[in-house]
Amino acid sequence: LLWVSEGLSVYYEMILMNRAGCKSRNQMMEEWKNSIETYENNEGKKFQTLAQSSYQTWEYGPFGIAGKTISYYEKGPLIGMLLDFKIRHNTQNQKSLDDVMRMLYWKYYKEENRGFTEKEMKDICENIAGENLDDIFKYIYTLEPIDYNKYFSLAGLKVSQKSENGKFLYSIKRNKKTTPLQNLI
């Protein structure tokens, strides 16, 4: 589960700097854009799932083999974003990925003195979100392309893509009209 322990840590690195006032919302969104570009421009996304990158790190290293594998440092934060947006949306911003992380810590580390399984991680996410999250978890176990706008729109954001010199370039913009609920992050 390195995609959780390392990948979600990268997501928190991005948002905590914003929460602390060290980076603006625009700077944080620029980091998100860069994270999407790094992952989407890696041909390894066609060959290795996020779960496989966690399991195979001892074989290929944490950053893998360019063009053949992916890194949980690249795709893990993207999954963190999707989960956070979905949980915040489903709970009217009363809960977030923070609640998932706290629950995992208290239930499994403090109470049961152990780590957690993939199933337990998914169960906690779904319990807090209040619905089945197969639509997000499939991105961990399959090579299916991520539908960024499906989740970013929950936060009042739009992801645009263009191709230039053989590379995908992305932008993230706030929608002109948003509801208070969409101002999640």
| Interval 48-97: pLDDT, tens | 999 999 888 777 766 777 788 999 999 999 999 999 999 999 999 999 99
- Top pLDDT among 139 and 62 is at 139
The pLDDT of 10-35, averaged and rounded, is: 94
pLDDT of residue 183: 66
Closest C-alpha to 33, from 129, 137, 134, 157: 157
Percentage of the chain exceeding pLDDT 70: 95
Determine the Cα–Cα distance for residues 58 and 156; give it in Å rounded to an integer.
39
pLDDT at 44 over 90: yes
**Radius of gyration from C-alpha coordinates of the chain:** 16
**18 touches 25 (CB < 8 A):** yes
Determine the Cα–Cα distance for residues 26 and 7; give it in Å rounded to an integer.
21
For the chain, report the end-to-end CA distance as a whole number of angstroms: 25
pLDDT at 114 over 70: yes
4-to-1, 85, 133 alpha-carbon distances in Å: 5, 16, 16
Determine the Cα–Cα distance for residues 179 and 162; give it in Å rounded to an integer.
27
- Token duo for residue 170: 């992305």
| DSSP 3-state of 159 | strand
pLDDT of residue 46: 96
Closest C-alpha to 185, from 42, 28, 65, 3: 28
| DSSP 3-state of 36 | helix
**Residue 97 burial (C-beta neighbours within 10 Å; 0-12, 13-18, 19+):** buried
Amino acid letter at 159? V
The pLDDT of 114-136, averaged and rounded, is: 97
Q: Which of 2-6, 81-85, 123-127, 168-172 has the lowest mean pLDDT?
A: 2-6
Specify whether the backbone of 91 is left (phi greater than 0), alpha (psi in -120 to 50) or beta.
Answer: alpha
Percentage of the chain exceeding pLDDT 90: 82
The pLDDT of 24-46, averaged and rounded, is: 94
Element (H, E) at 58: helix 57-60
Say which DSSP state 171 is in: E
Q: Which of 51-65, 116-130, 145-159 has the lowest mean pLDDT?
A: 51-65
Taking the model in full, what pTM does it have? 0.92
